[in-house]
Amino acid sequence: MSFNTFGQMFRVTTWGESHGPALGATVDGCPPGVPLSEADIQPWMERRRPGQSRYTTQRQEADAVEILSGVYEGQTTGTPIQLLIRNTDQRSKDYSDIAASFRPGHADITYFQKYGLRDPRGGGRSSARETAARVAAGAVARAALAALVPGLRVRGYLVQVGPHGIDRAAFDDAQIDANPFFCPDAAAAAAWAAYLDGLRKSGDSVGAVIEVVATGVPTGLGAPIYGKLDGDLAAAMMSINAVKGVEIGAGMAAAALTGTENADEITMGAEGPEYASNHAGGVLGGISTGQPVVVRFAVKPTSSILRPRRTVTLAGTDAEIITKGRHDPCVGIRAVPVGEAMMACVLLDAALRHRGQVGDGPRGHIPVSTPGPAPTQE
């Protein structure tokens, strides 16, 4: 990762501002021969698109992706894929009021301090709008993974909104797309709706926790020491706007476990090693175990709120600020497809790097033996 590019072999560079004419992603290193068209990308854009419920910003964007290069006759060519998304509903006037002050908790002050420039139009490059380009790139990664690693599936959902978590016992995969929160627990979704309606009316916002799970991940992806799969995932998720924490498997709670509890015991199954638990989140020593890869990340509340906060102006005076405009009361909701996209990109990149260094598939094979008596080893 550097500047606006992530990935080593599957390299994604995003570009564009919230209120410029367009934004997009330059995707390099994609394998050739992958079937791809705009129709493969658009459904993923739809999941992230704003304005679809009262819980997200009311900005209306078609988020139509144009493929400008790298695809010929419905297949990737192996050369760079340019994905262009036109901005159509940028209302810069919305932001004219706040041009003179910085929003507490917002990046506008640090962009100014770093670059000496002030682009008040919707946060410019720091806007969550940038994540549209990630979703487009993630759709390309999904298409390539479908060809390279059939059976791999990436799935994200919300597990917490504000202080309200889901009930893991009520987890229902079918619920995820049945409510505006990507929530796998129907009761929690109903509670969140009421909670967010209240927040929205009060002009406030709130954070959330997203979980993204990849199943069907082959063993062997990721590489020591600074190419670890979990290191790449941490960087990828932390790079999403407003993310303040990333967890793999047991996450921060691993600190409270004993070695006895944390060890994911292994037994031989019909097709290879099986794990009794997944505290590891599918990654050991930075390399995938074949178990589901489980990542969680926390998104802070939107800093653009209708409640007055103390701040300073460009001129160096104290002020109070209220941010009008069209903002997400819980930007974490739309972070679900973004987290999925980052997972897909990271896994494809790891798969290509593994294939490059080691060749196709994992090299070390543990044979499935006829189970005999279990000797105690010391």
Considering only residues 315 through 344, tell me which ones interact with its own copies, judged by CB under 8 A: 315-322, 324, 332
Residue number, 174 or 258, with CB nearest to its own copies: 258
Question: How many angstroms separate the CA atoms of 367 and 247, rounded?
Answer: 32
Question: How many angstroms separate the CA atoms of 135 and 238, rounded?
Answer: 16
CA dist list (Å): 142 to 34, 136, 347, 348 = 10, 10, 9, 8
Is 126 labelled a binding residue?
yes
Question: How many angstroms separate the CA atoms of 44 and 136, rounded?
Answer: 7
Single-letter amino acid code for the residue at 359: G
Question: How many angstroms separate the CA atoms of 362 and 336, rounded?
Answer: 30
Could you count the other beta carbons within 10 Å of the beta carbon of residue 84? 20
Is 369 labelled a binding residue?
no
Is 242 labelled a binding residue?
yes
Question: Of 119, 185, 211, 340, which one interacts with its own copies (CB under 8 A)?
Answer: 119
3-state secondary structure 48-84: HCCCCCCCCCCCCCCCCEEECCCEECCEECCCCEEEE
Show contacts with its own copies in window 76-95 (CB under 8 A): 77-82
193 lies in the binding site for its own copies (CB under 8 A): no
Question: How many angstroms separate the CA atoms of 320 and 53, rounded?
Answer: 30
43 lies in the binding site for its own copies (CB under 8 A): no
Closest CA to 14 of 164, 137, 149, 151: 137
Is 304 labelled a binding residue?
yes
Question: Of 39, 93, 173, 226, which one interacts with its own copies (CB under 8 A)?
Answer: 226
75 lies in the binding site for its own copies (CB under 8 A): yes
Which of these ranges, 43-51, 56-64, 179-187, 250-258, lies near its own copies under the rule CB under 8 A?
Answer: 250-258
58 lies in the binding site for its own copies (CB under 8 A): no
* Stretch 153-192: interaction string toward its own copies, x if CB under 8 A: -------xxxx-----------------------------
Question: Of 40, 185, 247, 340, which one interacts with its own copies (CB under 8 A)?
Answer: 247
Residue ranges for the binding site for FMN? Answer: 125-127, 241-242, 285, 300-304, 326
